[in-house]
Amino acid sequence: MGEECVSGDFTACVRREFPALAHKAYLDSACIGVAPLRAVRAVTDLVQGMQYCPAESGTAMHGRLNELRAQARPLVARLIGADAADIALTESATHGLKIALESLPLRAGDQVLIPDLEFIQMGIMWRQLKDRGITVRTVPHDESGRVTVDAVRAELTRDVKVLALSSVQWTNGFRADLAALSELCRRRNVWLVVDAAQHLGALPLNVRQTPVDIVVCGGHKWLCSPFGTGFLYLDPAVRPRLRRPLAGFFAARPPARTWGESFLRPDITPLQDYEFSEDAYAWETGGTGNYPGAVGLSASLSLLLELRPQRIETHLRTLTDYLTEGLDRLGLTVVSPRDPRHRSGIITFSTGRAATDTALMGSLLAAGVAVSVRFTSGVGGVRVSCHLYNTLRDLDALLAAAEEWQRRPRRNGRPPAHTRSQPRSAAARIIGQRALIDALDDDLMGLITARGGVSRGIRRSRLEGAMARTDLAREREIVERFHHRLGQDGTRLALELLRMCKGDT
């Protein structure tokens, strides 16, 4: 499938990877992305395999799981133009930001700048450094919802040691001029900390071309990864100046070739001096990791890399141009920047009032169009997230539902507010239910394929052991189990499964 995505049609590849979205207008990736089929299968295969512990021992299995988790680092590095040694795996953007805050060499009297449009988490976390004598100030946005380089420059006093910002803002999709901010921070000797959670997966970023000291990113939004995944990038030039956080032994170098081999040494003790790497993985927690999440992240990243970030950006530009034109026709106010240099996959629009924005969102949700409403510092509205799996048909559904909402009878010049108690239309419910059926069918087909692979492995083992190709007693046991759960239909299903898997049980 990967080769087809590299050389084949973009739309066809995306359709294969996201079959559950064929009949659903999901435009809310800035909140939660949708996992591709390969990520779902990777997680399922790992979890199902754990019931067999396929390695020869628990120690060997744990080592294998660590190796699988580590495979995500070079894929992250490729995505942002870094080296694998520069990447630490985290559970979220928040986790990465926490490590950054604890690692930066800040002192009492130092100041941190953040835009006033920032995601709430950014402000909450930096404000907690107040007891260390560190203050946080905001850079104001202009009348068009931008945080300009000039505005940042105006706030850069001698006490400012950190500029922390989201490269794409969560409410209006404003895309910062990272190149100019990077140059400014280097001239002023200011740390540049970037939250790329609303950026990566939708837009390219190359840290060699645009130097950034620290990048944090969660996986569950535009990277389309399972929850509990993310990464932290640490510029190798600045790592020697960072405090390394407390970490477990997996973040240290083993005294032997592997930690499994180290445990065999009689001289190992808990209080001996262990050496930590200068690579970014030394900033990880160093304990047992989120292995299913890591393999899911790797699978999702492999898809993004095959489709190519530049091609995804071009696709999103087509979608956002189309949406902006449609919103203009309806007379709805586009809140997001129109300048292509500051555009992202997020297009936010407004009716002019927060209450009616919320009412319109409710109407869109009832029509089967998934969007959000977000505000920060007075900027926001109905937020639409256009991602690689979205199509012009999704946007037509949104525009048609918005136009229908505008045509409803008005009270005091305003459309009636939508409440969550209003039932969704039967057609909208059917669309959602069909999407679920499609997803379940894909799971079933994936499980059948996996079952066939296990059956072939059993056949090879029986042949190597000079046993009969088929164990009739085992087949009878399978049929009886299916019959017990599903009756006669279960019997027929079991026999068909045995046939498809060639009876190699």
pLDDT exceeds 90 at position 134: yes
Q: Does domain 2-30+308-422 have CATH number 1.10.10.10?
A: no
What pTM did the predictor assign?
A: 0.84
Same topology, domains 2-30+308-422 and 428-500? Answer is: no
Closest alpha carbon to 104 in 163, 154, 156, 158: 163
Q: Indicate the domain borders of the chain.
A: 2-30+308-422, 93-218, 428-500
Tokens read off for 224:
């389309």
pLDDT exceeds 60 at position 424: no
Q: Answer whether 386's CB lies under 8 Å from 313's CB.
A: no
Give the pLDDT confidence score for residue 414 in this predicted structure: 56
Q: What three-state secondary structure class fits 164?
A: strand
Percent of the chain with pLDDT over 70: 93
Report, in this order, helix, strand and coil percent for the chain, each rounded to 5.
50, 15, 35
Torsional class of 412: left (φ above 0), alpha (ψ -120 to 50), beta (otherwise): left
CATH code assigned to 93-218: 3.40.640.10
**Residue 315: which pLDDT band, with cuts at 50, 70 and 90?**
very high
Question: How far from 35 is each of 124, 221, 226, 370, 480, CA to CA, in Å?
Answer: 29, 9, 7, 16, 36
Q: Spell out the SS3 assignment of 363-407.
A: HHHHCCEECEEEEECCEEEEEEECCCCCCHHHHHHHHHHHHHHHH
Segment 444-493, tens digit of pLDDT: 887 888 788 888 888 888 888 888 878 888 889 999 989 888 899 989 99
Q: Which residues contact 331 (CB under 8 A, 6 or more apart)?
A: none
Give the pLDDT confidence score for residue 196 in this predicted structure: 98
> What span, in angstroms and rounded, lies between the C-alpha atoms of 284 and 82?
17
Q: Which DSSP category does 115 fall into?
A: E
pLDDT exceeds 90 at position 494: no
Q: Answer whether 283's CB lies under 8 Å from 232's CB.
A: yes
CATH code assigned to 428-500: 1.20.59.10
Segment 361-383, tens digit of pLDDT: 999 999 999 999 999 999 999 99
Out of 2-6, 247-251, 399-403, 454-458, least confident range: 2-6
